[in-house]
Chain A
């Protein structure tokens, strides 16, 4: 049974994403929309971890050999500077959110296979958030790209 490995990965990835959201939010305080919305997203990650807790209590987090299973990078530790900084930082978040999105999908599949109602409920409650986060990141990067790539210096 390897589901606990993935639940552990998910929990860790949510923690990494939350701190990455906060790093980018703090580092781009001059972009108020980015600043506030990423804080909102970070709180959602916290809520996801909270929702996962009872499941983790039940399955345990299999951290055995975690390093070799780990898929993600360490997340965003500091923001960049310069005219491309915002776009590149958002793009990093985009990779992290997509990673989480597909991880939830796979955990959701296992929950269905296992007829685990509690975990299915958690997945249902959380997986929509990454979809909105992806759309928001796309919306914001779409807006930023022409200016950053064509005229910013």
Chain B
């Protein structure tokens, strides 16, 4: 295996259209060890991006000492990416691991035992339920726990407490994927499969820097590109990413203008007759409205609005319109931008107009940003009802109540689930007084961090944080619960192409750390949550009980797990849901018959107005739906709300690098990954850097209406007028608030309250605004100005191996 910091995607194993992707097994063992030293290998799947690569964990003397890709797994055929290879177990063995619960005493977090910590939570929780009721409680979870943990959380929140205030950081990463699928097809669930990469004749990546966010999936694409009869590649991204470099057509749109481009691409399909009239008539509704909405969006108008070439728009549309097997993938460039759901729906519409769904190579992947985001959505920890049930459908609520043996009245279904930013707003206003955050770090990942810090710091808030490290968020907690990490607990999770993996416990968690599932079960027990017969609501003894309970909840729903079991998931490959007795091998693609889950009694949502997010409602839905047909939904483009002006002349967008995951809680503690991208940076074009008087490595101040960054400049190949910052960096590993952009080990609590102020996290600058339908925040639309602060003492430490590499031809 090559060094996978330098060679991110590894050796090529090219394959042609329709051929199986060859195996290539990647493996890393701790220094000095060989295969013979390993006591045993334990089956799992990687959690350091959303791809869901099957892997085995090497164990020696009760410690994790290595990782190896599973050759037989359908997702990766043995491969792993740099984060999995260098950060999976390595990122969990840092001395900073939390090993005992902490409680706040006289303003300081001090170690305590579980009984005391849980006692405090339960005391406050009971007190608030008695005095204020269930709406005083909020839960904010993750895209990185296991299915069983989400389902337990969903049950205790919905049937134990009865609060609608539950969401996950999946709101920041994948909410638009779910929303777009519901709006177009009636329910969540990816139509496509990763094997569509092997079969397609063209691939479109919309705001999806796959080369860095899912490196193994990109390796699969590279193997097609370097094989016989390679697919054509179209990239929509303002940065000159690896994807853009390999693309036949690169559309570097201005951030915030995706919808204009999409309306233009759809228009070209109509204008050139590249549509499947029969499929449209038999399987879709609303085509005339779609046609009229996109009508004004000529390639010239798109070119003017988006800052791209009209000829490129035509060429991209022609590829989509004339290739016979097109795969589309969509991610944060669309999801975290203006008109997120409407833009993502237009991708669905392109496929519907050509009838390109449910056949090999004709896939659609509304991607996820995290490994277990799909399970959060399925299990209802994000506020949706479990099993893709519709909160506006009384029968669905009854079904759940029967399953859980509770009164349907306790299940919050009277209003839309409260989305993450609204939960924080209620905390800000003081009406949510207990917030329980699990496995996520909003003090770095939420927009407008100054505001988030104030909210987390509120006196009226009782904050519970469960995590594996003392994150920037945990610093504010009243109770910190130390949890088991990947490899230290058992559970299942599901990736974007619906592949379910079992991840087995390989070693014991450090110290007194417990699995997140045990914490939730313990809380439910101590709170005395019971069903109608007085029996414990959550009587599971462990994760396998949870999985069996979940199977019943999923029965008959689109995400049907009833044909799966832990035993079936052991050995071999992951399996794609729906998996039932009738389909014991799982299901490779959805909608093969063009039949969509839009029937009112079955659908997950009655839908929304894409412009405002107004709910359609049952009556209107029933009056307009053609059961089984997909919806062609569209709205006109309007400019984003914050556009560049004289004071803030540049567009600001945030994103990811290949070497880090989220807020670097694990990857920042991996020596190799941290060395590959140790510090934040701001990426500018040659022209914009010159205008600001900045050279490579100079320290710049980047200011928006919300705050400022002080970070080194990377002069790169990003489109002029737009600047980019990686969102991973926070404050736990700095001693100076990031002002000097150096790493170190300090006390973040001190740093955050220092006079210098925090100037390192990209989200200091982002705006509190969200998509009206998916409620996903707009991390990629802000206006900023950049000024030089001081000269640097060398180039910035931005990676040179990725989209952040230095400008072509630069010194």
List residues of chain B with CB within 8 A of the CB of A39: 641
Shortest B392–chain A CB gap in Å is: 11
Q: Closest A residue to B133 by CB, please name it.
A: A150
Within 8 A of B (CB), among A77-123: 83
Q: Could you tell me the distance between the alpha carbons of A139 and B417 in the complex, rounded to whole angstroms?
A: 12
Stretch at the interface among A4-12, A29-37, A60-68: A29-37
CB-CB under 8 A for A135 and B617, given A36-B769, A143-B416, A151-B136: yes
Contact of A153 with B612 in the complex, beta carbons under 8 Å: no
Interface string of A9-43 (1 = CB under 8 A from B): 00000000000000000000011110011011000
Within 8 A of A (CB), among B131-148: 132-133, 135-136
Contact of A37 with B431 in the complex, beta carbons under 8 Å: no
| Residue A152 interfacial (CB < 8 Å) | yes
User: Size class of A's contact patch?
Assistant: 20 to 34
| Residue B229 interfacial (CB < 8 Å) | no
Contact of A136 with B613 in the complex, beta carbons under 8 Å: yes
Q: Could you tell me the distance between the alpha carbons of A143 and B164 in the complex, rounded to whole angstroms?
A: 10
Interface string of B599-613 (1 = CB under 8 A from A): 000000000010111
| Residue A72 interfacial (CB < 8 Å) | no
Which of B415, B422, B617, B770 has the largest count of A CB atoms less than 10 A from its CB? B415
| Residue B768 interfacial (CB < 8 Å) | yes
| Residue B418 interfacial (CB < 8 Å) | yes
Q: Could you tell me the distance between the alpha carbons of A152 and B641 in the complex, rounded to whole angstroms?
A: 30
Contact of A143 with B613 in the complex, beta carbons under 8 Å: no
Shortest B19–chain A CB gap in Å is: 48
| Residue A147 interfacial (CB < 8 Å) | yes
| Residue B430 interfacial (CB < 8 Å) | yes
Shortest A17–chain B CB gap in Å is: 15
Q: Could you tell me the distance between the alpha carbons of A136 and B416 in the complex, rounded to whole angstroms?
A: 12
Q: Closest B residue to A135 by CB, please name it.
A: B614
Q: Could you tell me the distance between the alpha carbons of A147 and B132 in the complex, rounded to whole angstroms?
A: 10
| Residue B245 interfacial (CB < 8 Å) | no
Candidates B133, B418, B429; contact of A143 at CB < 8 Å: B418
Contact of A33 with B772 in the complex, beta carbons under 8 Å: yes
List residues of chain B with CB within 8 A of the CB of A135: 609, 612, 614-617
Main SS at interface, chain A: helix
Shortest A37–chain B CB gap in Å is: 5
List residues of chain A with CB within 8 A of the CB of B418: 143
Q: Closest A residue to B616 by CB, please name it.
A: A135
List residues of chain B with CB within 8 A of the CB of A146: 135, 164, 414-415
CB-CB under 8 A for A36 and B641, given A132-B614, A143-B415: yes
Within 8 A of B (CB), among A122-144: 132-133, 135-136, 138-139, 142-143
Interface string of B411-429 (1 = CB under 8 A from A): 0001110100110011011
List residues of chain B with CB within 8 A of the CB of A152: 429-431
| Residue B754 interfacial (CB < 8 Å) | no
Contact of A151 with B415 in the complex, beta carbons under 8 Å: no
Shortest B345–chain A CB gap in Å is: 17
Contact of B135 with A31 in the complex, beta carbons under 8 Å: no
Contact of B431 with A153 in the complex, beta carbons under 8 Å: yes
Can you report 6 residue pairs joining A to B where beta carbons are below 8 Å apart? A40-B638, A83-B429, A132-B611, A146-B415, A151-B432, A152-B429
Extra A-B contacts (12), CB below 8 Å, given A139-B615, A150-B135, A151-B132: A32-B769, A33-B772, A36-B769, A83-B431, A132-B614, A135-B614, A138-B615, A142-B414, A142-B415, A150-B133, A152-B429, A153-B430
Q: Measuring CB to CB, which residues of chain B are less than 8 angstroms from any residue of chain A? A: 132-133, 135-136, 164, 414-416, 418, 421-422, 425-426, 428-432, 609, 611-617, 638, 641, 767-770, 772
